[in-house]
Amino acid sequence: MLQMFSSFAEFEKSRIIERTKEGLERAKQEGKILGRPVATETRRRVQEAREQGLSQSKAAQSLGLGIATIKRYWNI
């Protein structure tokens, strides 16, 4: 009995994976942009801090961002 439930669960999981792949493919064909949106506001704020002459650590403190985020957008 337990093996039968396991088989059904595995079958359902594979169907979910198939439907997800089909949906992603359809979205790509429709020209939809997938993934996380670009953080343009963060990039702009970091560049402004750089232009003001702040160091990376001071920019991180004043903007409330992590140093890794500052470094990511510092030289763009």
DSSP per residue, 44-56: HHHHHHHHTT--H
Q: What is the largest CA-CA distance in the chain?
A: 69
The pLDDT of residue 1 is above 90: no
Prediction pTM value: 0.56
Render pLDDT for 35-76 as a digit per residue (tens, 0 to 9).
Answer: 988 889 999 999 999 999 999 999 999 999 999 999 999 998
Whole-number Å distance between alpha carbons of 26 and 29 = 5
Phi, psi of 72 (to 5 degrees): -60, -40
Instruction: Note the pLDDT of residue 54.
Output: 96
> Per-domain residue ranges for the chain?
1-32, 40-74
Mean pLDDT of 7-14: 94
